Structure 1
Amino acid sequence: MSLETKIEIFFSESMMQKKTQEAVFVSPLPKTPFEFKWHKKRLEVIPQEPLLKDKTYVVSLGTDATDSHGNSLISPFSFAFSTGDLIDSGFVSGCVYSGKKVAPGITVSAYLFAQNEPELPYVLPDYVTQTDEKGRYELKNLSFGTYRLFAIDDINKDFLLDLESEQAGITTSDVELNYQFFRKENMDFFLSKQDTTKPSLVECEALNKNLIRVTFDQPIDLQKLVNPKSYLITSGEKPKSTLEIKLVYSLHNQDQNSFLITDDLDSKTEYELKVTDLTDQSGNEINPEKNKCFFSGTDSPDTAKLKILATSPEDKEKIVSLDKKLKIFFEKPPEKTSVEKAFLLKEKDGIEIKGQYFWVNPVTFVFEPESILSGETEYEIELKDEVKDLFGNSLDTIPFEVSFATLNPDTLGSLSGEVMLLSENQDKEIFVTLSKIESPELDYQKLLEAPGEFLFDSILPGKYILSAFVDLDQDQKFDFGKLYPFSPSEPKAIYPDTISVRSRWETEGIVIEFKR
């Protein structure tokens, strides 16, 4: 075919011209954009530079193409032609998800990969297509080679990622296409906001002579946030003296702040605090130019009463699950023994419930009943004796009481199935999550040590979405991957259909499969 070829697309209906033009993708993308000319229902796509010799071109019409009545294409349409003797046969397909839902109208880009191209996806891709109404995509007629794929919620239609406003998805691996393996399916994406901004230390302040509050400009990885080795407090000239940090904690749902309990501060001394080896929740390291702060010492003791920030379940909460672990979130570390001695769980008629307690961190107390709670029963949590903090300050509310009621077990159902992992990650832990569609905040989660069977017992009836991911880095949360420095996402699978759970009934035979 001639290198001066014009491309024509014929429509059966009159089209919205601008919107349809934006839905036309020609791969490989030229350096100079194509010119468009309309002749009633015929669209002419005119190259502004000669086509490449011996190249297969793919013309795709995305789902944003819309007729004059507002009807969009149900699925992308594509065709291929070659400026040489052969048409390439490489093929990649998969699905794009946003949260737990499929994502239609998302741009999927393929880059012929070279190790010296860290700018991806900030340069134009070699091939592009768009997902259909079910979130599926197909990249057809690709030349052989190794590709790196990205999915982009391309709001401004420029085929490039805008970090400020657009989400991106990363696959679990690059794709190599050759004569023997020229098809690759099930290359799925899970969109997320890619954060590349390094976190900064904003402020540090002495709240009393033994407590320092440290504030960052974004949430910090919790494990590192509460590690005393992440902080260094010094004072004086060389040689500087170091202030001992005895304990570091953070409060419930407040990962932008840490609190440092230290040796006594000196009210006449200026201190320097430096943080190292901290990362935000996207893995970005602390900004080395903004990792220090200065504060003045104080000789004021801690005289503030101990407060409780929240409990789980909340006071007066209804329909509490029968296997609920009870939690108390304190505003500062209490003296643990005083809480353990004071805690009481009882039925409303006074029957005490036995169980085991443990501490998730210095400010979070957890009580696990030794057997499941009774259905449709009222319970009370009570701190019946005096609870104190580490400096002898008592609780601000004495006695402290919370009441809640359990659900009716006859309303519950169950779900069972199997996770199949068709890959090399057979020895990795798998997190299986069951999410209630009507209540997005309600998740049931199971940890499997290896692929195999799972059972969700005693769950509320309703419609659910089932998903699972392989926890390669063993941090108990799904890793979306990073653009730069590049790292692939963890394998994740979503069951293709909505699952209904009925009262007093086991929904069984559900198979969630990780495909190669």
Structure 2
Amino acid sequence: MKSSKLCMVFSRNRIIILTMLLFTWGCASMQPPGGGPEDKEAPEVIWTIPTNDSVRVSRKVDIFVAFSEKMNHETVENAVYLSPHPAGEIKFSWKKNVMKIELEDSLESNKTFVVTLGTDGKDIHANALQQAYSFAFSTGDSIDRGSINGRVIAENTRGISVWSYRLAGQANEDSLVYIKRADYITQVGAGGKFKLSYLSPGKYRVYAIADLDADYLYTPSSDYIGLPFKDITVEPAKLEATGSDFMIFQEDTAKFALQTVVPVDRSLVVVGFSKSLMTELYFETGSRFDGLKNHFRMTDSASGTDIPIRDVYLNPVKLNEIKILTVPRNIQRRHVLSVRNLFSQSGEEIVSGDMSFEGGDDSSNIKIDMEMFSPQTKDGMILANDGFGFRFSNGVHRASFEKYFQMRDSLGNQVNGLFTWAHSAQVEFQPAVLLQSRMAYTIDIIADSVMDWSGKVFGDTVIKYFVNSFKTDSLGFVSGIVKDDDSVKAGTYYITCRNLNRGMRDHTVRIDKTGVFNLNYLVPGRYSVVAFKDEDGNGIYSYGRVSPIIFSERFTSYADTVVIRPNWETSNILLRFKD
């Protein structure tokens, strides 16, 4: 049975006396019940000393927290955050359901302190607190009332905390998260929601942290982090700051660099980098396409003669790898590959780099592979508006692939469409019209007529793919509106319906400006709807960088789970980007 909350009507002095008696004498031991139904009820905090909003509290105060049931001491102690963190050691002791917190040193004067009990705290039945619980007291005459709230978006938010640093123009502001415990800490609760309360007016930098080594410092090699899209100012006239949402990632601190140059044969060279390259720049489908050939030069190391480069393209399955096709080289001679002004997916640049190499097989017999990588189908089922993506292990003659590609329905009707090449080793075929409902389709590729750059064919047979379209009225639709409080920064918007059923595909649409969006032909199920503003134009969400700080791109999410039903449009989805 939960402890009675009637004790809250006692005067403060009587509560203190009651607590002292608990710690001095103790009571009969409270043991978990020996039988009956399993306890699955979340524990609660029923009273605290000092009480919430207490002022003029002694700087040598002891802190007490009473719970509704017997707690797992270690989990609770590890989930206690006192902000700002006091100097000296913090000691814990227990009597029954009451935890005592003793401070080695005196608290600062005229300061608001916040005690937060995080959601990692559990009772003896392993039931966790549903939400982080905070209470505040002051050693001065008043309580600070500022707050910052938001959400952390992750598959599992258990154990993720939110750290806030008060900024005061320090030279090392970007490095504080590495070297200093945060001024304010809380843990996320149900649905990834959090609230940092009782903040004094000022400017703050807030992070979401999975502090896996539990040292209250950010360690890139082990911890996960979420960066803000800007610093937050708590103003006296507007004490509540909203919209601080985070996506968690593990930061890659390796330097973007040229790593390997491997000659495969007389014409093909494979070049490896430490990080993936920016696809929006180096895919021909990107809005800022910049041909890779512009960034490479190959020379004979002895004579300095240029080796003409015929084609350069990303390895479609290893985006940190580039393949370079040249005119036939003398494999007995040493060559130099030079790279200039190349960008990684995260925006880092190789200004210049050179590497020498020699060798290669005089007659390469490497097998040429091909795969259909999209759409991601379950049991070969496709949607009416699907396109079909193909990847090749070597660059191909585009005209030969397009000529010997055929798609037909089960009645023998040919499906016409448009080929869009990301580069010589990746293409998408988009049918010109919507596919018919409940129709079987066959894709034929005459392999002995499709050649790579060296003249090799893909095989001596016809490669076939079989797919079937969904019944159109068995699918659903989503529509809504994107609004943006920031009308200054440019960028396109990507809206994604994430299928919450494992193994099922997501659906994404891009719009160039705020307004209406539509996602059509969705398989029935449960979805979350998220969106981000692509301010750097690389086509993917940019998480940012800790130091020197690069803020993340802004994103937003629809608060509720969206249920897609057959032949039904779920409308009025509002996605608002807050400033």
Q: Distance in 2 between matches of 1:218 and 1:48?
A: 48
1:145–1:375 distance in 2 versus 1, CA, 3 Å: same
Where does residue 164 of structure 2 map in the other structure?
110
Distance 2:65 2:463 in 1: 73
Instruction: Say which SS state the counterpart of residue 319 (structure 2) adopts.
Output: coil
- Which residue is equivalent to 1:25? 81
Distance 1:247 1:351, change over 3 A: same
Instruction: Please list, as runs of the form range in 1=range in 2, the aligned pairs for 1:83-482 lying within 5 A after superposition.
Output: 83-99=139-155, 103-113=157-167, 114-117=169-172, 118-122=174-178, 123-222=180-279, 227-236=292-301, 240-285=304-349, 292-298=354-360, 300=362, 306-310=368-372, 312=374, 318-384=380-446, 386-424=449-487, 428-482=491-545
Structure 2 match to 1:6: 62
Deviations 1:270-319 (A, max 9, x none): 2233444344433445598xx55432145825565644244545899522
The farther-off stretch of 241-250 and 479-488 is 241-250
Separation of aligned partners in 2, 1:70 and 1:365: 52
Distance in 2 between the 1:240 and 1:478 partners? 42
Q: 1-side partners of 2:496 and 2:281: how far apart? A: 26
Residues 447 and 425 of structure 1: CA distance in aligned 2, closer, same or farther (over 3 Å) = farther
2: distance between equivalents of 1:253 and 1:221?
14
Say if 1:277 and 1:286, in contact at 8 Å, map to a contact too: yes
Q: CA deviation at 1:188?
A: 1.2
Is the CA contact (8 Å cut-off) linking 1:198 and 1:285 kept in structure 2? Answer: no
CA RMSD of aligned residues (A): 2.7
Distance 1:297 1:224, change over 3 A: farther
For residues 269 and 477 of structure 2, the distance between their equivalents in structure 1, rounded to whole angstroms, comes to: 48
Contact kept? 2:301, 2:336, Cα under 8 Å = no
Which structure dedicates a bigger proportion of its chain to helix? 2
Is the 1:8–1:43 contact (alpha carbons within 8 Å) kept by the matching residues of 2? Answer: yes
Change beyond 3 A, Cα 1:326–1:75? closer
Letter in 2 for 1:204: V
Residue of structure 2 in register with 1:45 after alignment: 101
Q: Following the alignment from structure 1 to structure 2, what is the Cα–Cα distance between the partners of residues 383 and 44?
A: 74
Query: For 1:57, what is the secondary structure of its paired residue?
Result: strand
Deviation string 1:374-433 (CA, Å, 9 cap, x unpaired) is 222222222347222223222324333322222222311222222222333585321111
Rounded to whole Å, the distance in 2 between the matches of 1:131 and 1:311 is: 37
Q: Quick one: distance in 2 between partners of 1:266 and 1:33?
A: 71
Distance 1:423 1:440 in 2: 36
Amino acid at match of 1:52: E
What CA distance in whole angstroms lies between the structure 2 residues aligned with 1:240 and 1:324? 49
C-alpha change, 1:227 and 1:48, in structure 2 (3 Å) is farther
Cα displacement (A) at 1:94: 1.1
Shift of the 267–355 alpha-carbon distance from structure 1 to 2, 3 Å rule, reads: closer
Q: 1:358 to 1:19 in 2, by over 3 A?
A: closer
Please, which of 497, 512, 516 is the counterpart of residue 575 of structure 2? Answer: 512
CA spacing shift, 1:72–1:287, aligned 2, 3 Å: farther
- What is the identity, as a one-letter code, of the residue corresponding to 2:83? S
* Alpha-carbon separation, structure 1, partners of 2:79 and 2:366: 62
| Deviation of the 1:88 alpha carbon | 1.6
Distance in 2 of aligned mates of 1:287 and 1:178: 43
Greater alpha carbon shift after TM alignment, 223-232 vs 389-398: 223-232
Kept in 1: contact 2:297–2:337 (CA 8 A): yes
Do the aligned partners of 2:278 and 2:538 also contact (CA within 8 Å) in 1? no
Query: 2:26 — aligned with what?
Result: none
Q: Distance in 2 between matches of 1:374 and 1:468?
A: 30
Match of 2:53 in 1: none
State whether residues 224 and 250 of structure 2, in contact with CA within 8 Å, keep that contact through their aligned partners in structure 1. yes
- Matched residue SS, 1:60: strand
Task: Kindly name which structure, 1 or 2, has the bigger radius of gyration based on alpha carbons.
Answer: 2
Alpha-carbon deviation of 1:128?
0.9
Equivalents in 2 of 1:11, 1:303: separation in Å?
Answer: 72
> Which residue type is aligned with residue 101 of structure 2?
V
Residue type at the aligned position of 2:538: D
* Structure 1: runs of 5+ lacking an equivalent: none
Query: Conserved in 2, the CA contact under 8 Å of 1:149 and 1:171?
Result: yes
* SS of aligned partner of 2:264: strand
Partner amino acid, structure 1, of 2:242 = E
- Greater shift, 29-38 or 170-179, is seen at 29-38
Deviations 1:104-133 (A, max 9, x none): 442111111235123131121111111112
**CA deviation after TM superposition for structure 1 residue 92, in Å:** 0.9
Do the aligned residues in 2 keep the contact of 1:197 with 1:284 (CA within 8 Å)?
no
* TM-score, length of structure 2 as denominator length: 0.81
Instruction: Decide whether aligned partners of structure 1 residues 467 and 180 sit closer, same or farther in structure 2, where only a CA change above 3 A counts.
Output: same
C-alpha distance in 1 between matches for 2:136 and 2:376? 60
- Shift, 1:93, TM fit: 1.0
When structure 1 is superposed on structure 2, of 58-67 and 115-124 the one drifting more is 115-124
Where structure 2 has 5 or more consecutive residues not aligned to the other structure, the ranges are: 1-56, 283-290
Secondary structure of residue in 1 paired with 2:175: coil
Cα distance in 1 for residues equivalent to 2:458 and 2:129? 63
The one-letter code of the counterpart of 2:171 is N
Deviation of 1:260 after TM superposition, in Å, equals 0.7
Counterpart-to-counterpart distance in 2, 1:20 and 1:316:
45
Give the stretch that moved more between structures: 422-431 or 245-254: 422-431
Cα distance in 2 between the residues matched to 1:316 and 1:64: 38
Is the 8 Å Cα contact of residues 529 and 562 (structure 2) preserved in structure 1?
yes
Distance of 2:381 and 2:425 partners within structure 1: 26
What CA deviation, in whole Å up to 9, does each residue of 1:21-42 have, x standing for no partner?
A: 1111111113434222334433
SS state at 1:120 partner: helix
Contact residue 449 and residue 457 of structure 2 kept, 8 A: yes
Using the alignment, how far apart are the partners of 1:366 and 1:10 within structure 2?
62
Q: Pick which of 502-511 and 214-223 moved more.
A: 214-223
Residue 488 and residue 314 in structure 1: after superposition, are their counterparts in 2 closer, same or farther (change >3 A)?
Answer: closer
Give the C-alpha shift of residue 186 in structure 1. Answer: 2.0
Q: What is the letter of the counterpart of residue 307 of structure 2?
A: L
Give 3-state SS (helix, strand or coil) of 1:339's partner: helix
Q: Distance in 2 between matches of 1:387 and 1:28?
A: 67
- Aligned-pair distance for 1:439? 4.2
Task: Give a deviation string over 1:476-506, Cα, whole Å, max 9, x none.
Answer: 2111221122111111111111111111222
